Structure 1
Amino acid sequence: MTPPSGEGARSSGDLFAKFDPIIETRETLLARGVEDPFNLVMEKVLSPTRAICNGRDTILLGTYNYMGMTFDPDVIEAGKEALEQFGSGTTGSRVLNGTYQGHRECEEALREFYGMDHAMVFSTGYQANLGIISTIAGKGDYIVLDIDSHASIYDGCAMGKAEVVPFRHNDIEAMEKRLRRIPEDAGKLVILEGVYSMLGDVAPLKEMVAVAKKYGAMVLVDEAHSMGFIGKNGRGVAEEQGVIDDVDFIIGTFSKSVGTVGGFCVSNHPKFEILRLVCRPYVFTASLPPSVVATAATSIRKLMHGANKRAHLWENSKRLHAGLTGLGFKLGTDEPQSAIVAVIMPDLERGAMMWEALLKEGLYVNLARPPATPAGMTLLRCSLCAEHSTEEVETILAIFERAGKAVGIID
């Protein structure tokens, strides 16, 4: 039987029909000559802040490489040594043959970094949220979460089949109203993020954790975008706001400040270790390669002494935020709150044009669009690095000014 083709193929039974609006939007942008913003190729990475993109030396302002650890000599050397001693991979899960000495050392580094009793390393940050949330909150339990939570958080909720109760972003009163309506004897988990990745804004964790505890809820905080940078010791917003000892679980990733790949959960809960036997995304996933956990452990230990880098990153964030505001761009926050500075675009078409104009000038940022963004916004998301020099930040501002005027975003 010959399969159908053309327009007739898009019948009600077409499993891809639900993607048609996205396909149409993409094709419309590309037809207007805009380069595909979601298919950029880095031909060569020169440093944490520069790469060759489309044959051009490009400043990187959209990598989440907050602390610039990807080219740290000690980190690279640790990866090389592990690769030579233990090979390229484990070919097994953590509960079988996939736990090497390096995995234990990486978890030890995390326990030391956070000052907590338990640490569990996952193959990605996505899997850390998916695994921990779905395992500890199941059918009959309630999850109260900020409506702007990351996709991995929502997917963890769906996998665990708990009752999901969202509340308005960073609204303490709305969160308390939701908690008040939940049966007193029900299992309750409140999920928050230290820094929200789209706008770069910070959660009022101090007040929210207090409300959660008032109603007997456990608290999980995703510190993916604040680990290494925010807080006196780089432990995140929970440390900065003085509630790290009141949080039950902290989720994080190695793909931001740590500079490699992987995810983790740290906790002081006395029963935490049982999760290694009942958490499906941990039990049924191959463990990270020895070279990856070696680089992660080395990076984490160096981040413990990263005060100077943290201070410079804050300076970069303040300089970029003030500069873009002065040029007339509309930003996601009134003042710098993190290493993320989000520039709000009028719509997707002009956002894509602005993204392309920046790239042609030698600057890479993230183009973020609905449904990933809050309130249907199109954003140019800038993530600063501790390795960006003051001169590079000034160059970035000059590029934004030229591109913004060319596209008509600013006068």
Structure 2
Amino acid sequence: MTPDDPDRQSADDAATGDLFSKFDALIAERQALLDTGVRDPFGIVMDEVLSPTLAMIKGKETILLGTYNYMGMTFDPDVVAAGKQALDDFGSGTTGSRVLNGTYQGHKECEEALKAFYGTEYAMVFSTGYQANLGLMSTIAGKEDYIILDADSHASIYDGCALGNAQIVRFRHNSVEDLDKRLGRLPATGGRLVVLEGVYSMLGDIAPLKEMVAVAKKHGAMIAVDEAHGMGFFGPNGRGVFEEAGVEADVDFVIGTFSKSVGTVGGFIVSNHPKFEVLRLVCRPYVFTASLPPSVVATAATSIRKLMHAGDKRAHLWKNSKRLHKGLRDLGFNIATPEAQSAIIAILLPDQAQTVAMWQALIEQGVYVNMARPPATPAGMFLLRCSLCADHSDTQVDQILERFKAAGRAVGAIG
């Protein structure tokens, strides 16, 4: 066998039980893409980050339009100073789980900041937002219980369900009617948890939470809302879509992350349920994971406290989102939502070839966006996903539109 004989290699892999052989089609597809000369859309390296909205990529100053840094807190002077001070005072890490030696004063202060931000009695900080969903879904519902979730739920929600023993029921994306129907078919026995997201990250659409929460309550279900992409700029206090929908009193759990609007890393759950604290003893992704470094929880707590008074930033972010959505639509791009529903704007394209070409043209123009394709999107859906920041200036939004225009015309995406 020669090294350049892929068919023979695949046959030999299958014969020897190579566990990587199941990925051969994906490996070949990726290599064919790279052989065309385009950059790897999933392998971009930020050589230097200049601000929440600018970075150096391959020696070129590039506008960041795909980072989820919604409120621009990554370079906030108070946030950075808090992290530096904690690094000096407490060292680089805890080397332990929250239930052993891994809870420092900073972890408790971060949970206090969350309780103040959300107005709840309880808060639990996890090492990532992924683990927060993994922990709640796998722990709260047993084998006699039901988790009812939107078909477009985030991977962390699905993975949490897979880790647990509950029976899983999916309903059509954002369909109040289908949620009602699915709940109505469940037997009277067993508990039930309806899992919703304030903002769905792929298309940037929001859930009809007011109607969905009413349906869930009608059927006696508990409710969890993931506000990863809504925290910071929805609602009078920036708590999320559930606050804007006026259903705070009816939601049992709010799950979130520090890696979007808060500007660092970590995750959390907040709740008013009187038995909530028992989760610290039974939630495996909390108990068996090393806790966040002191510098990270210090930056998170400082950022969360500042987000409580970020009304001007919220207003500017919404202005940016509406301007970009209208501008792209006026240029002739196919936008996933009829109007700006969140800080995420998804541009739909007909196939992978044009999506990759458009992404490549944009990066050459100095604009970084996210490319998404199946299985991250529904079958046959290819898109470029933009996520705006409160720190994008009016001039930068103008530049983004001009560069989209040039890139779109160059690849035939617009006339």
**Letter matched to residue 316 of structure 1:** N
1:55 corresponds in structure 2 to 59
1:194-235 deviations in whole A, cap 9, x for unaligned? 000000000000000010011111000000000001111100
Output the aligned Cα RMSD: 1.1
Question: CA–CA distance in 2 between the matches of 1:11 and 1:24?
Answer: 16
Query: Normalization by structure 2: what TM-score?
Result: 0.97
**Letter matched to residue 9 of structure 2:** G
1:380 corresponds in structure 2 to 384
SS of the residue 2:47 aligns to? strand
SS of the residue 1:206 aligns to? helix
Structure 1 residue aligned with 2:213, among 199, 209, 212?
A: 209
Preserved CA contact (<8 Å) 2:324 2:401:
yes
2:238 corresponds in structure 1 to 234
Structure 1 residue aligned with 2:310, among 306, 311, 329?
A: 306
Question: CA–CA distance in 2 between the matches of 1:100 and 1:157?
Answer: 30
1:27-83 deviations in whole A, cap 9, x for unaligned? 111111111000000000000000000110000000000000000000000000000
Structure 2 residue aligned with 1:366, among 354, 367, 370?
A: 370
- 1:11-410 alignment to 2 at 5 Å? 11=14, 13-410=17-414
SS of the residue 1:374 aligns to? coil
Point out the more displaced range, 6-15 or 283-292. 6-15
SS of the residue 1:27 aligns to? helix
1:139-158 deviations in whole A, cap 9, x for unaligned? 12111110000000000001
Identity %: 71
2:3 corresponds in structure 1 to none
Question: CA–CA distance in 1 between the matches of 2:293 and 2:310?
Answer: 26
**Letter matched to residue 135 of structure 1:** T
1:369-389 deviations in whole A, cap 9, x for unaligned? 111113431110000000000
Question: CA–CA distance in 1 between the matches of 2:145 and 2:162?
Answer: 12
**Letter matched to residue 341 of structure 1:** I
Q: Which runs of 4+ in 1 moved over 6 A?
A: none
Question: CA–CA distance in 1 between the matches of 2:326 and 2:45?
Answer: 30
Question: CA–CA distance in 1 between the matches of 2:42 and 2:288?
Answer: 30
SS of the residue 1:380 aligns to? strand
Q: How many residues are aligned here?
A: 408
Question: CA–CA distance in 2 between the matches of 1:317 and 1:24?
Answer: 37
Query: Normalization by structure 1: what TM-score?
Result: 0.98
Listed as ranges, the gaps of 5+ residues in structure 2 are: 1-5
Question: CA–CA distance in 2 between the matches of 1:200 and 1:7?
Answer: 40
- The structural deviation recorded for 1:186 is 1.5
Point out the more displaced range, 346-355 or 149-158. 346-355
Preserved CA contact (<8 Å) 1:134 1:159:
yes
Do residues 9 (structure 1) and 44 (structure 2) align?
no
Preserved CA contact (<8 Å) 1:184 1:215:
no
Question: CA–CA distance in 2 between the matches of 1:16 and 1:376?
Answer: 25
Question: CA–CA distance in 1 between the matches of 2:95 and 2:47?
Answer: 29
SS of the residue 2:148 aligns to? strand
- The structural deviation recorded for 1:185 is 2.3
Question: CA–CA distance in 2 between the matches of 1:56 and 1:308?
Answer: 31
Question: CA–CA distance in 2 between the matches of 1:376 and 1:120?
Answer: 39
Listed as ranges, the gaps of 5+ residues in structure 1 are: none
Preserved CA contact (<8 Å) 2:351 2:380:
no
Question: CA–CA distance in 2 between the matches of 1:203 and 1:94?
Answer: 33
Question: CA–CA distance in 2 between the matches of 1:342 and 1:130?
Answer: 27
Question: CA–CA distance in 1 between the matches of 2:380 and 2:68?
Answer: 22
Preserved CA contact (<8 Å) 2:10 2:24:
no
Preserved CA contact (<8 Å) 1:62 1:383:
yes
Question: CA–CA distance in 1 between the matches of 2:156 and 2:406?
Answer: 37
- The structural deviation recorded for 1:8 is 3.3
1:235-284 deviations in whole A, cap 9, x for unaligned? 00000000011100000000000000000000000000000000000000
SS of the residue 1:376 aligns to? coil
Question: CA–CA distance in 2 between the matches of 1:192 and 1:21?
Answer: 33
Question: CA–CA distance in 2 between the matches of 1:18 and 1:237?
Answer: 40
Question: CA–CA distance in 1 between the matches of 2:10 and 2:322?
Answer: 52
Question: CA–CA distance in 2 between the matches of 1:325 and 1:344?
Answer: 11
Question: CA–CA distance in 1 between the matches of 2:12 and 2:311?
Answer: 59
